[in-house]
Amino acid sequence: MLLGGLLRCGHCGRKLHVSYSGSNGNTGRYHCRGAQVNHGTDPCIGFGSLRVDQAVSAEVLQRLQPLGMEAAIKAIETSTVQAGEKRRHVELALEQARYEAAHARRQYDAVDPDNRLVAGELERRWNAALVAVRERQDELDALDRHKPEALGEEERRSLLRMGADLELAWHHANATATTRKRIIRAVIREIVVAIEDNHIKMLVHWQGGDHTALSVRKNKAGHHRWGAPPDIEDLIRALARQLPDRAIASLLNRLGKTTGRLNGWTQSRVCTFRNQHDIAVYKKDERSERGEYTLQETAAKLGLRPMTVLRMIRAGDLKAEQYCKGTPWIIRHEDIEQLDIQHHSGRSGHSPLSQSQDQQIQLCQ
């Protein structure tokens, strides 16, 4: 959670607090309960931290992007001169220590030997100065032994690449949450938050006096960040009227779709998803009862090759529906009955469907 202490409630004006929950205590929420604690009223607002943090971070990166290259070049220059500056400081300290040791020796040599009290004190000072010289010399020798290597070409390219792409640097493994918080607080003074129409409305007050309005959709009750995107639900709902669960899982994986947790689809996951969203299971011969056929079934019915039927669809000679690219073509019985296939058929018979996976995928394009 990156915005603790920066958020202010747009409804009551109080600062928002931070709380953690979940089995591992790593699920963060921002909430306004000042009125509830102080006056016993209902809680004001509350929402999860993930989307809000992501939205504000993206806005900060967008604002800082022009400064990225400048910061990268400055980092290279700083790395180059830092070692030399530290050695120079130690050299100056050593020079000062040697001067003080020489001065202490001259004082000791000038004292009357019979004045033992003064001579003893000057000898002690001389010895202390010699110890300081030895310490500075040891420090300088240690710097020479552990002298950092000059910034290599690969490191230079890496810094420049991260400077050009601040998002890469922001999500780098070495970029801690503490560093991100410091960056955010360096550019943002306060964020006023309100909840309207199931959206989290934010007004970002920048340090320079500018203001930026942001809006983030708020999860409904029972929803969470691991839920699949809405388009997945619509796609599965449409495919469930055409294919069984195993075929749906295979098709979703081929389309590059993942679950809410970024896993691949399996038959059991499709089944669980359907049950959670009240989607009926596909029944055998369900399509034929509705008078609907796939491209391969239509080809078999017409005695044509599947590629011939596909060309007819693309030419507009045969009406067909496809939910999205990659899903099966669906042809209605009445459209097949109205089709004149005399000039489309290159031969009376038809070839079996090719076993080539590339050709089968092409039939769904």
Q: What does the DSSP assignment read for 59-77?
A: HHHHHHGGGHHHHHHHHHH
Q: What's the pLDDT at 360?
A: 44
Residue 249 located in a structural domain? yes
275/300 same-domain check: no
With respect to residue 187, please indicate whether it lies within any of the assigned structural domains: yes
Residue 158 lies in a domain: no
Asked if the model's pLDDT at residue 218 lies above 80, the reply is yes
Residue 53 lies in a domain: no
pLDDT in tens, 270-323: 999 999 889 999 988 888 888 888 888 888 888 889 898 889 988 888 888 888
Which of 172-186, 307-321, 343-357 has the weakest average pLDDT? 343-357
Instruction: Verify that 317 and 271 share a domain, yes or no.
Output: no
How confident is residue 171, by pLDDT bands cut at 50, 70 and 90? confident
Give the pLDDT confidence score for residue 349 in this predicted structure.
Answer: 44
Nearest to residue 30, comparing CAs of 59, 57, 3, 12? Answer: 3
Can you give the residue range of the structural domain that contains 107? Answer: 68-153
pLDDT surpasses 90 at 70:
no
**More confident of the two residues 204 and 343:** 204
What pLDDT sits at residue 190?
A: 95
Structure tokens at 149: 């290597």
pLDDT at 347 over 50: no
Residues 139 and 74 in one domain: yes
The pLDDT score that the predictor gives to residue 169 is 78
Q: pLDDT higher for 200 or 23?
A: 200
Q: Which helix (H) or strand (E) holds 78?
A: helix 68-110
Res 353 pLDDT > 80: no
Which of 58-67, 102-111, 147-156, 160-169 reaches the highest mean pLDDT? 102-111
Residue 223 lies in a domain: no
More confident residue, 307 or 163: 307
Examine the pLDDT at 79 and tell me if it is beyond 90. no
How many structural domains compose the chain?
4
Domain-ending residue, one of 120, 138, 153? 153
Are 216 and 66 a contacting pair, CB within 8 Å?
no
Between 191 and 183, the higher pLDDT residue = 191
DSSP per-residue codes, 155-219:
HHHHHHHHHH-HHHHHT-TT--HHHHHHHHHHHEEEEEEEEETTEEEEEEEETTS-EEEEEEEPP
Calculate the alpha carbon distances from 308 to 263, 303, 323, 364 in Å: 37, 10, 21, 13
Query: Do 259 and 278 fall into the same domain?
Result: yes
The 10s digit of each residue's pLDDT in 117-156 is 888 888 899 999 999 999 999 988 888 887 656 656 777 6
* Statement: residue 249 has pLDDT above 90: yes
For residues 277 and 287, membership in a common domain is answered with no
pLDDT at 248: 92
Indicate the SS3 state at residue 45. coil
Worst-scoring range by mean pLDDT, 115-124, 185-194, 245-254?
Answer: 115-124
| Better-scored residue on pLDDT, 33 or 35 | 33
| Residue of 156, 114, 107 lying closest to 128 (CA atoms) | 107
Q: Does 353 lie in the same domain as 297? A: yes
Residue 133: the pLDDT is 92
Question: Averaged over 70-90, what is the pLDDT?
Answer: 71
Residue 231 lies in a domain: no
In a domain, 244, yes or no: yes
Q: 220-224, 232-236, 343-347: which has the minimum mean pLDDT? A: 343-347
Output the average pLDDT for the chain: 82
Domain presence at residue 62: no
